[in-house]
Structures are given as structure tokens and as C-alpha cells.
Chain A
Amino acid sequence: MFDDFFIRALVAGIGVAFVTGPLGCFVVWRRLSYFGDTLAHSALLGVTMAYSFELNIAVSVFLISSIIALILIQLQKKTNLPGDALLGLLAHSSLAVGLVVIGFLTFIRFDIMGLLFGDILAVTIDDLLIIWIGGGLILLVLKLIWKPLFASTVNYELAEAEGLNPDRAKAIFTILMAAIIAISIKMVGLLLITGMLIIPAAMARNISDNPRKMIIFSIIGGLLSVIIGLFSSLEFNSPSGPSIITASLILFILSLLKIKQSIHLKN
């Protein structure tokens, strides 16, 4: 019934959803959605590097995104500009530079739409390996830094005072953000990655009363979005990345009903 490419797409999407679930919760808790956007925009530059120097796309995106994150941290320390202005500066300038470089690489045919919105149906076996092994590593590292990262998300000073080294956890988390963008760029595209991180987590917030539940619901939401999105993409011949995000939006809207209900119960 299914063609091979569809199974690959499904396996890739499921792998990504397992990682974006917990990471997305931290993005929401730590108010990093625009930061995620910036890293994702810079990924285009990473893709052009990959084509120019014949590198693996995920590796190249990971490197460029990490560098942009480091530049951001330095700019935050050394300038008086507000954080959102710096993020905008880096996001749009790296996107622009990426597009300019693409203009120069006339000998390569780029699928711009695929880069921006994802091309999950062109996922190869190599991509699957990168997603599942890379994703596994991301989750492992997240588990290792869980305590200091979570504690400092709740209250930085408590974590620092009680000896948890929150600065190190924050730096490692930044690298994990670059890594998830690198492994999921092919699936949802650089304009939609942040949506994949935030929307299922936002949906989970509406129906959870503790952090563990929120993470579990966020993963479930991501999985459902991938499955529903891909099947509807096959059924209605809609682009896969936007279909997945639209599915997660529908789940989010449904979760609003639950909020209304609990408010109703309180009154």
C-alpha cells in the first residue's frame, strides 16, 4: 500500500518528534522561540556550505548554527543592543547571506522550496541514520544535563547557589538546539522548524499540570502531527512540512477546549 519513500518519511518524522517534544518544552519555558528561529534561519548558510564544500548537510548546518549561537552570546555580552534586535540581526543577515551565496552557486540546482518548507518525501536511508542516531545522542545529553537545566529554568539563582552549574547546562543546551535544527531541517524546512518545536509544547502546556506530563504530551503531540500531516500530505497532495505544522496547529486548537473546560470547572 505504501511506497518505500513514505515509510522512510514516517520513520524520519517520528524520530524527529521524539526529540522536538522535550526540547520544545524547554524552548517554551526558557522563551527561546525567537532564538530557535535565528538558528534555523542561519541553517540556510549551513546548507550552502554543505553544497560548496561537499559536506554532509546535517554536519554543516550544525557547525554554522553553533557558530551563530556563539556569535550571538558574544554580541550579547559586548553590545548594548536588546536581545531581540540581535536575534533579528543575525536571523535575517544569515538568511540573506545564504540566499546571496545560493545566487553564486549557479552550477547547482537548489530546491529552495524544499529548503524553506521541508522535503520529507526525499529522505534517504542516510538521513534516517542521522536522525535516529543524532536524535538519540541529543536525548541522552539532555537527560545528563536535565537537573541543572531544569532547575535553572525554574530559578537561576537557586540552581547556582546549590551548586548545579547552570551556565554549563545552558551552553550545552544551546548546542543541542543547533543539533536538532541540523537533523530536522530536511523534514520540516528551516522556516517551520521552530513551529515543530513550539506548537506541540504549547499544546501540551494547555493540558498538563506538571513538567513531566507536559513533556510526554509534547512528544505525543509531535508524533500525531507527523503521522496526521504525512497521511494528509499523501491524500491531498499537500507539501509535507506545512501539513505537519498544520496538523499540530489543529491539535493546539483542540487543546484550548480543555483549558476552557478547566476554567469552567473552577468557576
Chain B
Amino acid sequence: MSLDKNILVKLKDAGFRQNDKWLVKGVSLVVEKGKIVTLIGPNGSGKSTTAKIALGIYKKIDGKVEKYTNKVGYVPQKVSIDWTLPLRVNDFMVLTENLKDDAINEALSLTGVEHLKNKNLGTLSGGEFQRVLLARAISKKPELLVLDEPVQGVDFTGEIALYELIKKISEELNCGILLISHDLHTVMSATDHVVCLNGHVCCSGSPIDVAKNKEYKVLFGEQASQTLSIYEHRHDHVHSHEGDIKKN
């Protein structure tokens, strides 16, 4: 049992190794009800890995993970839907939980894609698919939301609206959010707690504290332009027909 009833998930010195290479090491963080924790860091710094550790997807880990809720909504960084499986948005919405039609419609209209309900998933654009992923994650009214770059490929105005929605959801549902984002501006304005990763925790704290931090300046002073330009030129999720989703 958690001593503090507000704690949803707690990582203590957690790390994950794949093929004898540490993807991330020594991460400690806590996600509480109603709070948004954001992971930032360059590509390959272990943000998605940290999210997967928190979610219990990686099992053979170092350190400790304590998860106090099973009501989880997850938006992965990459999702590839196999064309051999005919799947409409509507079928995808009830993938992990049976929902009433009203709940499905409400979630889809919150992210602005109610009109796509009967479309086949394979026919959606990258941005549309991303909105469906977010709608699915929030539709089950989770206690913990883990969002791995939830607005990738979404148009500029949509991006702002979706971040506002995420903020609103955290307040309305009083759910904890673990967010991964490259958009430093959003991170600084919407987040309660920032964890800056680069294979390990460089620094963490309130957005203002982190922005003042020396290591953060070193990390983003040198790499921010590179990171952001990579972000702008990156394609969103891949519609792969083969194989598993592999982390970068």
C-alpha cells in the first residue's frame, strides 16, 4: 500500500538494460493524482523507456516500480496496426475496456474526431490517428495517463488545443499524467514537475527550477536546436506491416 494516497506510480532508482546496454538508469520519480509530470531530453535519452518501466511493460528492470492503480490510459509513441486486421475507430476505442456508446462519442468529440468513428484505422492520417489514440486513452477515465508525444503529427492549432485538453483532463478527472514532450514551451507552461533525462536523471524539479539548472542549460543549450529540428522533420507513427515496434 502506498502511504500517500495521492501517489499513483513511483519509480525508485529504476533502470532498464537491453543487450547489455543501459537504455536508462537510476530514474526516481513520482506521479501523483492531479499532477502533470513531464519527461524531457534528447532522442535516445530514455524517455519512452522510462514510461514503459512505469507502465510495467518492461519487467526485468533494475530498481523498483510501485504502481498503485490499474486504471491506466496509454498513448504509445509508435503504434503500427496490421492491415490483416480490419479495425474501425469504433473497434479500437473498446480495445481494452468495454465502453458505452456515449462515452466513446464524448471522448472522440473532445479530441475533435467524432466524424471518424466508423472509418477504418488504416485510412486515417497521422494527425487523425494521434487524436484517436488520445481519445481512446482518456475515454476510460483513467487514474493514470501516460502520454508519449501525444500530439506528434497534429497541426499547429490542434496541438495547442490538445495540450489544453490534457491540462483540463488532469483537473477534471484528477488523474496523474506522465507526459513525454519535445515542445519545451508547452512543458514549461503546463507542467507541475519536470524530469530532464539523458540516460539518467540530469535534473528535476519545477519548470522554473529546471530551466535555471546548469545541466539543463548544457544539455539543451547545445542540443536544443538539434533536438527541435529533428522533431520538426520527424515523421509521425509508422504504418509498418512487419515485425514489432522497436525503441530507437
* Distance, CA A214 to CA B85, complexed state (A): 9
SS of A interface (majority): helix
Q: Are A164 and B96 in contact (CB under 8 A)?
A: yes
Cβ of B24 under 8 Å from chain A: no
Pairs across A and B, CB under 8 Å, 5 listed? A29-B82, A147-B96, A160-B56, A163-B96, A210-B86
* Distance, CA A132 to CA B73, complexed state (A): 40
**Which residues does A use to contact B, with CB under 8 Å?**
28-29, 31, 147, 150-151, 153-164, 205, 208-214
Shortest CB–CB separation between residue A46 and chain B, in angstroms?
30
Q: Are B56 and A155 in contact (CB under 8 A)?
A: no
Shortest CB–CB separation between residue B11 and chain A, in angstroms?
15
Q: Which residues of B contact A213 (CB under 8 A)?
A: 86
Q: Are A211 and B76 in contact (CB under 8 A)?
A: no
Closest to A156 in B: B244
Q: Are A162 and B96 in contact (CB under 8 A)?
A: yes
Q: Which residues of B contact A209 (CB under 8 A)?
A: 86, 88, 120
Q: Are A211 and B85 in contact (CB under 8 A)?
A: yes
Shortest CB–CB separation between residue A67 and chain B, in angstroms?
26
A147-B96, A155-B79 known; A161+B85 contact, CB < 8 A:
no
Cβ of B1 under 8 Å from chain A: no
Q: Which 9 A-B pairs have the closest CB atoms?
A: A161-B55, A161-B74, A162-B96, A163-B70, A29-B85, A151-B95, A160-B57, A162-B72, A151-B96
A205-B86, A211-B85 known; A157+B96 contact, CB < 8 A:
no
Q: Are B76 and A155 in contact (CB under 8 A)?
A: yes
* Distance, CA A254 to CA B86, complexed state (A): 19
Cβ of B52 under 8 Å from chain A: yes
Q: Which residues of B contact A151 (CB under 8 A)?
A: 95-96
Docked complex: B159-191 residues within 8 A CB-CB of A? none
* Distance, CA A164 to CA B244, complexed state (A): 19
Q: Are A158 and B74 in contact (CB under 8 A)?
A: yes
With beta carbons under 8 angstroms apart, the residue of B70, B79, B85 that contacts A158 is B79
Closest to A26 in B: B85
**B42-64 toward A: CB 8 Å interface, digit per residue (1/0)?**
00000000001001110000000
Q: Are A158 and B86 in contact (CB under 8 A)?
A: no
**Which residues does B use to contact A, with CB under 8 Å?**
52, 55-57, 70, 72-74, 76, 79, 81-82, 84-88, 90-92, 95-97, 120, 140, 146, 244-245
A151-B96, A210-B91, A211-B91 known; A157+B245 contact, CB < 8 A:
yes
Q: Which residues of B contact A153 (CB under 8 A)?
A: 85
Shortest CB–CB separation between residue B152 and chain A, in angstroms?
16
Q: Which residues of B contact A161 (CB under 8 A)?
A: 52, 55-57, 72, 74, 76, 146
Q: Which residues of A contact B74 (CB under 8 A)?
A: 157-158, 161-162
* Distance, CA A34 to CA B56, complexed state (A): 31
Q: Are B86 and A214 in contact (CB under 8 A)?
A: yes
Q: Which residues of B contact A156 (CB under 8 A)?
A: 244
Shortest CB–CB separation between residue A198 and chain B, in angstroms?
11
With beta carbons under 8 angstroms apart, the residue of A28, A147, A150, A157 that contacts B76 is A157
Shortest CB–CB separation between residue B48 and chain A, in angstroms?
10
Q: Which residues of B contact A208 (CB under 8 A)?
A: 86
Add 17 more A-B contacts to A154-B82, A154-B85 (CB < 8 A): A147-B96, A154-B81, A156-B244, A158-B76, A158-B95, A160-B57, A161-B55, A161-B56, A161-B57, A162-B73, A162-B97, A162-B140, A164-B96, A205-B84, A209-B88, A211-B87, A211-B91
Q: Which residues of B contact A211 (CB under 8 A)?
A: 85-87, 91
Q: By CB atoms of chain B within 10 A, which of A151, A161, A163, A213 has the most?
A: A161
* Distance, CA A9 to CA B76, complexed state (A): 49
With beta carbons under 8 angstroms apart, the residue of B55, B84, B244, B245 that contacts A160 is B55
Q: Which residues of A contact B95 (CB under 8 A)?
A: 150-151, 154-155, 158-159
